[in-house]
Amino acid sequence: MCGIVGITGFLPVNQSIYDALTVLQHRGQDAAGICTIDSMNCFRLRKANGLVSDVFEARHMQRLQGNMGIGHVRYPTAGSSSASEAQPFYVNSPYGITLAHNGNLTNAHELRSRLFEHGRRHVNTTSDSEVLLNIFAQELDRFQDYPLSADNIFAAVESLHKQVRGAYAVVSMIIGHGMVAFRDPNGIRPLVLGKRVLPDQRVEYMVASESVALDTLGFEFIRDVAPGEAVYITEKGQLSTRQCAENPKCNPCLFEYVYFARPDSFLDKISVYSARVRMGTKLGEKIAREWEDLDIDVVIPIPETSTDVALEIARILDKPYRQGFVKNRYVGRTFIMPGQQMRRSAVRRKLNANRAEFRDKNVLLVDDSIVRGTTSEQIIEMAREAGAKKVYLASAAPEVRFPNVYGIDMPSVTELIAHGREVNEICQLIKADALIFQDLKDLVAAVREENPEITQFDCSVFDGIYVTKDVDQGYLDYLQSLRNDDAMAIARQTETENLELHNEG
């Protein structure tokens, strides 16, 4: 997953974009970037590998001048993790465009060849996002006028939707024009729009992956950008929006609600926090039904994402809720770290047991999801080392059995602990005394309750159904060979940096 943000304003945006990226940091920890347009109509760019706080030093911030800008935090799902594939990306024609993307294109390979052979455009990185930028540029290039009209820009997005497949929430800037943001026709990845009225009544606009970024910056939430819709805000602050897809559907990614998004965000009219509480209600009821005989002394969350679910389970079961694990606040999210070795070693650095909560007790540990089993296996071991008698585990999401192709880096089924395994086998592998998963229908109901207009979520990691309907075994095999942990480890050793636009070093 990645986080994106864009602001069109009348005051310098560098600090606001920086602040927005810090509240979207949970969506991507590998790289960060900001691009602004200065008063001379030139892009100013700083992007590098690392956390937001590491990438931007005071000298970079000073140079990121201008009243319009976009930003990105990256969790790679395509290409390499080299700094040259950090975002935003830049292309110099037409007019000069930069773009930041959250999601993953499933036909990037084909688009890249088409761009080269028919569009005579070379993409110098292995990033799908740079391919997306070039498709956008190519479509804008069909209009020869200056300036491009809003109609031209929307027509370009319309044509882009017809060629590009997969998931994409995008924010982009065109020199001499303004900011363009759009969302794929299935609305797989989130995107929200907000505004801030200045004392002189001028209106600044912001788009971001999650509403929490609007809250933090004092922007008022207007609405979610609709699936397939494009938003264009001119340099002068004129907003226009248009539906650019022929047959848009709202199929948001269910895993956003389980794990990715911050609880204080609202995505597609659903509070992530409330959805998690309802996941706890459903799972608590299932535990009460199916584990009547188990003697649970205490409910303990596996920090951090599962805490809201665990608290509700404790309430349903009428058992004490205790913070049995202490989280090291300086270690980030482990699931989105690159490479299994790094993920494994991070769990123990991140979490430590409060022995008093485990000694001689039967503990029910709660996690939001079990994906590779990296966390649960080690946590159960730690609970036993801390003196637990029995260790039970509950997961607020069902078994993750299928790869993700829409922006979560889970390309390889063999790395998924639940792939080809039943609950009792998984239970044995992670050495729990009992294991229970949420049912998919309950998870969907928990999330959907607040917005019943959503008739289908992207649940592909749970049921193998890909909402774009174009993902076949051939593509999954290709993805697996390209991006499995071993292949990525080799790629990381041979990475080179190749930064295309002047980047403030």
Ligand X SMILES: NC(=O)CC[C@H](N)C(=O)O
- Residue with Cβ nearer ligand X (36 or 81): 81
**Angle value at C-alpha 250, between 249 and 252, nearest 5 degrees:** 135
Q: How far is the CB of 271 from ligand PRP (least distance, A)?
A: 17
Residues 208-267 that bind ligand PRP (CB under 6 A): 259
In three-state secondary structure terms, 325 is: strand
> Contact between 438 and ligand PRP (CB under 6 A)?
no
Residue nearest to ligand X (CB): 2
| Cα(42)–Cα(257) distance, integer angstroms | 38
Q: Is 455 annotated for ligand binding?
A: no
Residues 6+ apart with CB under 8 A from 173: 6, 35, 37, 43, 68, 69, 70, 97, 98, 99, 179, 180
Q: Is 305 annotated for ligand binding?
A: yes
Could you tell me where the beta strands, DSSP code E, fall in 406-501?
434-437
Amino acid at 118: H
**From ligand PRP, Mg ion, ligand X, none, interface partner of 372 (C-beta below 5 to 8 A by class):** ligand PRP
> Contact between 430 and ligand PRP (CB under 6 A)?
no
Count of chain residues binding ligand PRP (CB under 6 A) = 19
Q: How far is the CB of 305 from Mg ion (least distance, A)?
A: 5
User: The tokens 């665990």 sit on which residue?
Assistant: 310
Residue 2 annotated among the catalytic residues of the structure: yes
CA nearest 301: which of 283, 289, 285, 286? 283
* Per-state percent for the chain, helix, strand, coil, to nearest 5: 35, 25, 40
Residues 6+ apart with CB under 8 A from 174: 94, 95, 96, 97, 140, 148, 153, 180
> Contact between 104 and ligand PRP (CB under 6 A)?
no
CB 461 within 8 A of CB 400: yes
User: The tokens 């070093």 sit on which residue?
Assistant: 505
Q: How far is the CB of 432 from Mg ion (least distance, A)?
A: 16
> Contact between 404 and ligand PRP (CB under 6 A)?
no
> Contact between 372 and ligand PRP (CB under 6 A)?
yes
**From Mg ion, ligand PRP, ligand X, none, interface partner of 1 (C-beta below 5 to 8 A by class):** ligand X
> Contact between 305 and ligand PRP (CB under 6 A)?
yes
CA nearest 414: which of 479, 505, 502, 329? 479
CB 29 within 8 A of CB 73: yes
> Contact between 334 and ligand PRP (CB under 6 A)?
yes
Q: How far is the CB of 490 from ligand PRP (least distance, A)?
A: 21
Q: How far is the CB of 166 from ligand X (least distance, A)?
A: 9
**From Mg ion, ligand PRP, ligand X, none, interface partner of 369 (C-beta below 5 to 8 A by class):** ligand PRP
b/e code 462-476 from CB counts within 10 Å (16+ = b) = beeebbbeebeeebb
**From ligand PRP, Mg ion, ligand X, none, interface partner of 102 (C-beta below 5 to 8 A by class):** ligand X
Residues that bind ligand X (CB under 6 A): 1-2, 74-79, 101-104, 127-129, 407
Helix H or strand E segment including 90: strand 89-91
Query: Of these, 68, 70, 302, 353, which contacts ligand PRP (CB under 6 A)?
Result: 302
User: Which range of residues in 13-21, 211-219, 303-311, 474-482 is near ligand PRP by CB under 6 A?
Assistant: 303-311
Q: How far is the CB of 307 from ligand PRP (least distance, A)?
A: 9
Q: Is 22 annotated for ligand binding?
A: no
Binding-site residues for Mg(2+), please?
A: 305, 367-368
Binding site for ligand PRP (CB under 6 A): 259, 302-305, 333-336, 367-376
Binding-site residues, please?
A: 305, 367-368
Binding site for Mg ion (CB under 5 A): 305
Residues tagged active-site: 2
